[in-house]
Structure 1
Amino acid sequence: MIPITVCADWNVAVFGLGLSGIAAARALALGGAKVVAWDDNEPARAKANEAGVLVALPEEWDWSALNALVLSPGVPLTHPKPHVIVEQARAAGVEVIGDTELFCRERRHQGLPGKVVAITGTNGKSTTSALTAHLLSTAGRDTALGGNIGKAVLDLPPFAAERHYVLEYSSFQIDLTPGLDADVSVLLNVQPDHLDRHGTLENYAAIKARIFNRLGAAQCGVIGVDSDLTRRLAEHWPFAAARKVVSTAHPVSDGVYVHDGLLFEALGGVVEAPISLHGIPALRGAHNWENAAAAYAAARALGLSRETIIEGLRSFPGLAHRMEEVGRLDRVAFINDSKATNADAAARALACFDPIFWIVGGRAKEGGLAGLDAYYPRVAKAYLIGEAAEDFAHQLDGHVGYERCGTLENAVAAASRDALRSAARAPVVLLSPACASYDQFPNFAERGEAFRRLVAAHEGVSMREAIAA
């Protein structure tokens, strides 16, 4: 854990007691702050109590004595309207920050020890973060991975001169981290997402771009240029830091690009020999090529050799719930892409397989399946689940055959049946929902684990029984 000594003797309130909230409360107390906390969810409060956190109703807080409110990133800060606790803090003149801001302040307080890589983007940030950490670890660097992936940032090991922190940032976390600074900052892409929390696409993009705000001349910004908003930002780079661009769409003169699975590094227009990404299961598809290019650029900015990076790329195991093969039944592969919670993310998986028996649905985001038309010829049939089923049936009607399944269990059974009956050489049952999970599951990970269990149950069924089901 990282003790937050910069807030010693402060009075701090923590609202939201998930993993990051409990870690923030404990780290503040360990550093000498007086902490009070609350969560509207009773089980969360119970866990905080077990961890030794003082829990008290906000009505009992002395706002006049508070120095800061540490807010969970899941609590609305601005849109559709600020949570009442945010309004109370602002009325009392109390700053509202996140656990990631505490991390940045403590690091500055200690003289900026170690190195920090900050990574964000609408899609791909988890894989890029995990891959970057893997490359550093493969090179023998002392590496800690956390933030929006894995451990809460304050649950990571304390600052040390040789330690590298690879931190995934959501837009919600960036919004709560005005002092965000890093040695290497990465912005992969910006696509419509979380507009209910940020109001407009422009505001969402501006928040993502804050990942670069405090970069100095000795630091590096890595930016993907395959989405319109990030390309415009790269063209008019307003930051002091060096800039490296990554692309899977076209060559670049100073950065990293991938063409047909071959990764090229260009330095001042001079292009190094390509590195093949073919045959690396965890880096399959153009979207993972973008992730690989960004991680490569970040690793090079931190001084890793090409040879060490190549070794790390080839040994990367990938992440659960991101185009993860979780089983096979005869010729049929079952792919868990539960992390695809919007259409753009689902497109990346749909581009990688053919034919696809596609399990899709959940709680739809704005736009639904818009933009996926080009991939419909790859889809043998769709299996609709969750709240979005009726709306998606209308969107797919006349383009893709579909079956309303309601639940994931029904969808896996139906998709398995049809895939096994298919004459195709390598059919794929793909869970890539293009939706949030909240209508039927607490999060995408729970949805993915449920899929894994259902596939395991089907693997135990004989092919004849599966086809007859």
Structure 2
Amino acid sequence: MTPVTHCAGRRLALFGLGGSGLATADALRAGGAEVLCWDDAEPARDRAAAAGHAVADLRAIDWSGIAALVLTPGVPLTHPEPHWSATCARAAGVEILGDVELFCRERAAIAPGAPLVAITGTNGKSTTTALTAHLFRAAGRDVQMGGNIGTAVLALEPPAAGRLHVLEVSSYQIDLAPGLAPTVGMLLNLSPDHIERHGSFENYAAVKERLIERSEWSLVGVDDTASAEIYERAVEREMRLHARHLGPSGRHLPVSVRQDLPTGVSLSGRHMILMRPYDGRERLLGGVDGIATLRGLHNGQNACFAAACADLLGLRGADAHVIQSGLNGFPGLPHRMEEVGRIGNTLFVNDSKATNADSAEKALLSFDRVHWILGGVPKAGGIAALAPLFDRVQRAYLIGEAADDFARTLSGRVLSRRCGTLEKAVAAAAEDARQASGNQTVLFSPACASFDQFTNFEARGDAFRALVAALQT
């Protein structure tokens, strides 16, 4: 835990008592703050009360004595309209922040030089975060990993000299963290997502850009237009500052897996090359050939970011192979192109984390002769953008709310079957793959949210894994 000592003696309101909310309440209380907690769900309030926290309806409290409202990232701050707790706080002139901001302020108070890596983007955040942490751990470093992946940030051990924190941060978390200024900030890519929470793609991209503006070093993917524009603006700001001798030079590095770059990180074949700005020095960071957990061009991008971050923070030294060794040993993440079984000539791949078309595209690009299971709660645009990849699909097996819409998109281009449930889809896909000749892949890459049939993508992926296991018995 990271006790929030800089809030000692202050009274704070906290809304949202899920996992990160309870961890925040624990950390605030451990640091000496008084916390008034609330959640719209009674079971969540009961859990907080059982843990010894003060539960109070924030609509009925005296806001004049409240120092800040700590808002869970899952609660709307601006769109489609502010949550009522945010409205109460603003009416009283109370600042609104999140758990990442509390962590950053604690870091500034107790260990301002402690290294901090923050990773954002539309797709690939979790894999890049896990891979970055893995590279440092494999080299024997003291690493804490969390944020939007796994462990809530305030449940991690506190910042300290020699301890590296690697955080995945969502747009929601950045929006609530004005003091987030990492040692290395990464923006992987941008595509339309979470528009309902930010009002427009432009607003969404602007929130992501804040991370780059405040980073000591930044790594920015330049293979999509929006991210490339953010990189160009960052360089322009840096040049203006450098011209006035107010800042370091060359602190923003571009990353590309589609083009060779004069400076920054490029994927040449399957080898990652870092060209440092201004001095022309080129360094081979490693390669990803033959690493099953880093299959596909998108994972090449993830590896470029992680390896470049490792290089920036000194993970090279005497052992020239330390980064490559870490890459070779990366175990991958559950639900992200996870190979969960093989039956005869058929590989079964769990890509439940693919909750939008852009993410599903990465999986489709990585396999041939695909029996594709997809569906759920569709995102804006559906799967129409994936049409250039339909020739990789032997047949599609449709589940959930999106089945009818997806069937129309696939009509005349891909054979499809409305299966309704994941259980029926797995059985049908496995049987069709069994009857086909040559190597086949049953790919569960839904391109949809899970909430029509499952509580989250993890539960959905676990169900797929269990169904495949049952076929193997």
Q: One fold, TM greater than 0.5?
A: yes
**Are 1:96 and 2:96 an aligned pair?**
yes
Equivalent AA in structure 1 for residue 254 of structure 2: V
1:188 aligns with 188
The answer to whether 1:304 aligns with 2:318 is: no
Q: Residue by residue, what CA displacement relative to the aligned partner does 1:361-384 show, whole Å, maximum 9, x if unpaired?
A: 111111111310111000001111
The one-letter amino acid paired with 2:177 is: T
User: Which whole-Å deviations, capped at 9, do the CAs of 1:159-180 have from their partners, x for residues lacking one?
Assistant: 2111000000000100110111
**Amino acid of the structure 2 residue aligned with 1:23:** A
DSSP-derived class of the 2:382 partner: coil
Distance across 1 between alignment mates of 2:377 and 2:300? 28
2: CA distance between counterparts of 1:353 and 1:134?
26
Matched-pair contact (CA < 8 Å) for 1:117–1:185:
yes
Q: Say which SS state the counterpart of residue 93 (structure 2) adopts.
A: coil
2: CA distance between counterparts of 1:267 and 1:113? Answer: 24
Distance 1:302 1:200 in 2: 35
In the other structure, the counterpart of 2:266 is 257
> Hey, what does 2:20 align to over in structure 1?
20
Give the aligned residue type for 1:449.
D
Alignment coverage as a number of residue pairs: 456
Q: Is the alpha carbon distance of 1:274 and 1:71 closer, same or farther for their aligned partners in structure 2, counting shifts above 3 Å? A: closer
Residues 274 and 304 of structure 1: is their aligned pair in 2 closer, same or farther, counting only changes over 3 Å?
A: closer
Alignment match, 1:223 = 220
Q: Does 1:397 align with 2:411?
A: yes
Q: How does 1:212-361 map to 2 (within 5 A)?
A: 212-215=212-215, 219-237=216-234, 238-239=237-238, 242-268=251-277, 269-273=280-284, 275-305=286-316, 306-361=320-375
- The separation in 2 between residues aligned to 1:392 and 1:61, in whole angstroms, is 48
Range that drifts further, 350-359 or 53-62: 53-62
Check whether the contact 1:326–1:334 (CA below 8 A) recurs between aligned residues: yes
Is residue 223–residue 243 contact of structure 1 (8 Å, CA) maintained in 2?
A: yes
Q: Is the 1:21–1:72 contact (alpha carbons within 8 Å) kept by the matching residues of 2?
A: yes
What CA distance in whole angstroms lies between the structure 1 residues aligned with 2:130 and 2:413? 37
* AA partner of residue 64 (structure 1): S
1:426-465 alignment runs, 5 A limit? 426-460=439-473
For the residues of structure 2 that align with 1:262 and 1:12, how far apart are their CA atoms? 50
Distance 1:273 1:5 in 2: 43
Instruction: In structure 1, give the amino acid aligned to 2:389.
Output: Y
* Structure 2 Cα separation of the partners of residues 16 and 115 of structure 1: 29
Aligned to 2:434: 420
Q: Which residue of 2 aligns with 1:465?
A: none
| SS of 1:416 mapped into structure 2 | helix
CA contact 1:362–1:437 (8 Å) conserved in 2: yes
Match of 2:390 in 1: 376
Over 3 Å counting, the alpha-carbon distance change for 1:381 and 1:75 in structure 2 is same
Cα deviations across residues 201-244 of structure 1 (Å, max 9, x unaligned)? 111001011112323xxx21111111111111212322556011
Deviations along 1:154-197, whole A, 9 cap, x unmatched?
Answer: 00012211100000000010011011111000000010000011
Please state how far the C-alpha of 1:116 moved relative to its aligned partner: 0.2
Q: CA deviation at 1:95?
A: 1.0
- CA deviation after TM superposition for structure 1 residue 270, in Å: 4.1
TM-superposed deviation, 1:113: 4.2
- Indicate whether 1:61 and 2:58 are aligned: no
Contact in 2 for aligned 1:244/1:297 (Cα 8 Å): no
CA distance in 1, matches of 2:285, 2:265: 10
- The answer for unaligned runs of 5 or more in structure 1 is 461-469
> What displacement does 1:262 show?
2.2
Check if 1:146 corresponds to 2:160. Answer: no
CA distance in 2, matches of 1:190, 1:379: 26
* Cα drift, residue 266 of structure 1: 1.8
Range 253-262 or range 177-186, more displaced: 253-262
Q: Which amino acid aligns with 1:348?
A: K
Structure 2 portions without partners, runs of 5+? 239-246
Structure 1 consecutive aligned stretches of length 4 or more whose deviation exceeds 4 Å:
none
Contact 2:12–2:69 at 8 Å: present in 1 too?
yes
**CA distance in structure 2 between the aligned counterparts of 1:284 and 1:12, rounded to whole angstroms:** 46
The letter of the residue matching 1:398 is: G
Aligned-partner SS, 1:278: coil
2:461 partner amino acid? G
Contact 2:100 2:153 (8 Å CA) reproduced: yes
Q: Compute the TM-score of the two structures, normalised by the length of structure 1.
A: 0.95
What amino acid sits opposite 1:280 in the alignment? Answer: I
Q: Which stretch of structure 1 is more off in the superposition, 105-114 or 438-447?
A: 105-114
Tell me the SS of whatever aligns to 1:59: coil
Report what 2:243 is aligned to.
none
Alignment partners' CA distance in 2, 1:40 and 1:333: 44
Q: Equivalent residue of 1:371, what SS?
A: helix
Query: Is the CA contact (8 Å cut-off) linking 2:101 and 2:177 kept in structure 1?
Result: yes
Q: Over residues 290-330 of structure 1, what are the superposed CA-to-partner deviations in whole Å (9 max), with x where a residue is unaligned?
A: 00000111111101115211110111101000000011111
State the alpha-carbon separation in 1 of the partners of residues 233 and 105 from structure 2.
Answer: 29
Give the distance between the partners of 1:15 and 1:272, measured in 2 at CA: 48
| Residues 127, 333 of structure 2: 8 Å contact kept | yes
2:117 maps to 1:108: no
* Contact persistence 1:122–1:188 (CA under 8 A): yes
Identity of aligned residues (%): 54
Does the CA-based 8 Å contact 1:253-1:270 persist in structure 2?
no
Alpha-carbon spacing, 1:333–1:8, altered in 2? closer, same or farther (3 Å): same
* 1:274, distance to aligned residue in structure 2 (A): 6.9
Q: Is the 8 A contact 1:123 1:189 kept in 2?
A: yes
Contact kept in structure 1, 2:287 and 2:324, CA below 8 Å:
no
Q: What amino acid maps onto 1:440 in structure 2? A: Q
Deviations 1:95-131 (A, max 9, x none): 1110000001111111414210000000001000000
CA contact (8 A) 2:111 2:159 kept: no
Distance in 2 (CA, whole Å) between partners of 1:55 and 1:256 is 50
Bigger mean CA offset, 175-184 vs 111-120: 111-120
- Worse overlay, 57-66 or 117-126: 57-66
Say what the alpha-carbon RMSD is for the aligned residues: 1.3
Q: Which amino acid aligns with 1:15?
A: F
Q: Distance in 1 between matches of 2:84 and 2:128?
A: 35
Letter in 1 for 2:311: R
